[in-house]
Structures are given as structure tokens and as C-alpha cells.
């Protein structure tokens, strides 16, 4: 087999780490292949002074990369799966889910050892409506502020401005070797992660059967089942990665357990639930849990969240 594979990725430290990880995994199976990494700037990389939730693009960190993939400028794309819209462009597919780190959030602070230790009226930075909703549901006496930038930039901003705390995904902090800043690994009972959080996705063109065969060597079927269940839940609720929706699936033998969350912006009205089903049908289980949420009135809650977001003026640091 003689082929050189061109990878497309964002240029952040974390995106490049993930791309190198995928490249090395493929090289172990196919040492004869050549590899090239091409950095592509996305809208999310360019627009840094606006809250992610205010931009409104479902492919904020993926569209330009997917366009390059469709145009044949790259052969495959490496994404943080949580940033990939649940509806992909015609002609593309997720061909492999490579690895998943612990999906929990982490709490970072100069002063406080945990969310529990924060005093009333403390300010916590987050770039996610999902984190904000769950945090304020857990601690309604706190205040939140929007933050933008990559992992090192966000940590630096919080330390320089002496913000009381910051919520980030464990995976990004850990993969960049910045564990020393972690004060608490937040239980998923407190903040449920985003669908697909901490998983790396490999996206290719559907008609590239040779590359599909190649990347299948690094696909983790167990992880894939879990993240596809989570994405099915998110898709049914018509929520992008910016909506206040969380999901986490785990395997237990032949079963899969899917847990879900949806709430308003301030965490005053939330729905939590879980559903166990056949692990061989993960998307069916994820969709069925979303239907339970629909029966509980989730559409009204999410519509109110969308309306409140449009009317709000989010301060961004």
C-alpha cells in the first residue's frame, strides 16, 4: 500500500495533540504510509470576542475543515467529537472514534479547592451554556462569566484577572499536561458532559473506501457505541454543541446506560433522566431517552433558553 494521507485540523495546541495522536496510531498499523498535517482556521478560531453561544453556527469549529475535506484538499479530518455537529454534510462520515479520555469537567481556581468551597456570589468562568445551567442549578448563589480562548489562554485569563473559578473539560487540560491546575474533578452527577466530550473523531469522505479500511484499524467500537448514543440524544432534541444539553453513555455488559440533562440558562428548570437498553442499538436508546425528555416538556425549556439567550448581553473575557 503506497499512499500519503493529508490530515486537516485546527491549529490549537489541543487540536494538534489530537491529530498527532491519530497519526501515530495509524503509523503503528501502517508504517509504510506517509502523513502530512494541514492546519485550517475555523470561524471559532477567528471570532474570539463573542460568546460561542451567541455566534450560533452549528459547525463553528468544523465547517471550514469539512469544506476542505469535501473539496479533496485533505483526506481526513481530526475533530474533538463534541465540536462536530450531529448532522454532517452529505458525502462525509465519522469513520473512527479513536480514544476517549475521562469525560468529566474540572474546576480550576487560585483560591478555592472545589465548587463546594466557593463563597456566595463567587464568579466562575465558562464558555458553555450546558456547564452554566448545571453549575447554577447546583449552586444558584454563584455568578458566571463567558470566557473564550484555548485551554492555556483560559487558565491564564482566570489567573491574571483573579476570577474565582473556571470550568473546563478534563480531557483538554490533561492532554496538554496541565493537570497541576486542577483543583477538583467534577462529578458527572453535578455537571454532565457534552455529547462526545473527550472523544476524538476521524471524519472522511464516504466514497473513500480505501481510507475507511485504513482508519477502521484504530476505531474503538465500545467508545463509538457510547458517543453515538449521546449524539442521538442530542440530535433528537435538536440541540447543537452550544445548547444547555448534556449526555453520557456507559456500557455494562450487553447493556448501554444513557444519562441526559437539559435545562434553562440559569439552571432554575432542568430535566435529568436515564435509560438502559441494548448496547447493540445505541442510537435507538439515545433517541428513546430524548423522547422521554420530550414528554416531560423539554422543548419548552429549550425554547425559553434560546429566547433568553437572544435577549441577553453576555460579558466575555
Residue 307 has pLDDT above 70, yes or no: yes
Say yes or no: 26 and 158 in one domain.
no
pLDDT for the residue 253: 94
Say yes or no: 9 and 74 in one domain.
yes
Domain interval for residue 46: 1-100+198-219
pLDDT > 70 fraction of the chain, expressed in percent and rounded: 96
Q: What is the CA radius of gyration of the chain?
A: 19
Helix (H, G, I), strand (E, B) or coil at 27: helix
- Please state the φ and ψ torsions of residue 217, each to the nearest 5 degrees: -65, -20
**Exposure string (b/e) for 50-86, b if CB count within 10 Å is 16 or more?**
ebbbeeebbbbbbbbbbbbbeeeebbbbbbbbbbbbb
pLDDT for the residue 243: 85
pLDDT for the residue 45: 87
Say yes or no: 139 and 288 in one domain.
no
pLDDT digits (tens, 9 = 90+) for 143-164: 999 999 999 999 999 999 989 9
pLDDT digits (tens, 9 = 90+) for 229-253: 999 999 999 866 568 999 999 999 9
Asked whether 34 and 64 are in contact (CB, 8 A), the reply is no
Say yes or no: 36 and 69 in one domain.
yes
313 confidence band (pLDDT: 50, 70, 90) = confident
Helix (H, G, I), strand (E, B) or coil at 199: strand
The number of residues making up the chain comes to 317
Say yes or no: 14 and 26 in one domain.
yes
* Other CB atoms within 10 Å distance of the CB of residue 242: 21
- The pLDDT mean for the chain works out to 94
Residue 48 has pLDDT above 80, yes or no: no
Cell of 19: 491529530
Say yes or no: 173 and 132 in one domain.
yes
Residue 2 has pLDDT above 60, yes or no: no
Say yes or no: 137 and 117 in one domain.
yes
Does a structural domain hold residue 159? yes
* CATH number (domain holding residue 295): 3.30.160.40
pLDDT for the residue 75: 97
Residues with catalytic function: 83
pLDDT digits (tens, 9 = 90+) for 188-242: 999 999 999 999 999 999 999 999 999 999 999 999 999 999 999 999 998 665 6
Question: Virtual CA dihedral for 138, 129, 200, 95, nearest 10 degrees?
Answer: 120
Does a structural domain hold residue 290? yes
Amino acid at each position: 500500500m503506497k499512499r500519503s494521507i493529508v490530515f486537516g485540523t485546527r491549529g490549537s495546541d489541543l487540536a494538534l495533540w489530537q491529530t498527532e495522536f491519530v497519526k501515530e496510531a495509524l503509523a503503528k498499523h501502517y508504517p509504510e504510509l506517509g502523513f502530512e498535517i494541514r492546519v485550517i482556521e475555523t470561524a471559532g478560531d477567528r471570532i474570539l470576542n463573542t460568546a460561542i453561544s451567541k455566534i450560533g453556527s452549528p459547525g463553528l469549529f468544523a465547517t471550514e475543515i469539512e469544506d476542505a475535506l469535501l473539496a479533496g484538499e485533505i483526506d481526513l479530518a481530526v475533530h474533538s467529537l463534541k465540536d462536530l455537529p450531529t448532522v454532517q454534510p452529505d458525502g462525509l462520515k465519522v469513520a473512527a472514534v479513536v480514544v476517549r479520555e475521562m469525560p468529566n469537567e474540572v474546576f480550576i481556581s487560585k483560591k478555592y479547592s472545589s465548587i463546594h468551597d466557593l463563597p456566595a456570589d463567587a464568579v466562575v468562568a465558562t464558555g458553555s451554556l450546558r456547564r452554566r445551567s448545571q453549575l447554577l442549578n447546583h449552586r444558584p448563589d454563584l455568578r458566571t462569566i463567558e470566557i473564550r480562548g484555548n485551554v492555556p489562554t483560559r487558565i491564564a485569563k482566570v489567573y491574571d484577572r483573579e476570577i474565582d473559578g473556571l470550568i473546563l473539560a478534563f480531557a483538554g487540560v490533561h492532554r496538554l499536561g496541565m493537570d497541576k491546575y486542577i483543583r477538583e474533578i467534577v462529578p458527572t452527577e453535578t455537571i454532565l458532559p457534552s455529547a462526545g466530550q473527550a472523544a476524538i473523531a476521524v471524519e472522511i469522505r464516504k466514497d473513500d473506501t480505501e481510507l475507511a479500511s485504513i482508519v477502521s484499524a484504530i476505531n474503538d467500537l465500545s467508545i463509538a457505541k457510547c458517543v453515538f448514543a449521546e449524539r442521538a440524544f442530542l440530535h433528537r432534541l435538536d440541540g447543537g454543541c452550544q445548547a444547555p444539553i448534556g449526555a453520557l453513555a456507559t456500557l455494562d455488559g450487553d447493556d448501554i446506560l444513557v444519562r441526559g440533562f437539559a435545562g434553562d440558562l440559569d439552571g432554575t428548570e432542568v430535566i435529568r433522566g436515564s435509560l438502559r437498553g441494548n448496547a447493540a442499538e445505541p442510537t435507538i436508546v439515545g433517541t428513546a431517552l430524548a423522547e422521554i425528555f420530550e414528554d416531560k416538556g423539554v422543548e419548552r425549556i429549550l425554547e425559553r433558553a434560546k429566547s433568553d439567550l437572544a435577549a441577553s448581553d453576555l460579558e466575555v473575557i
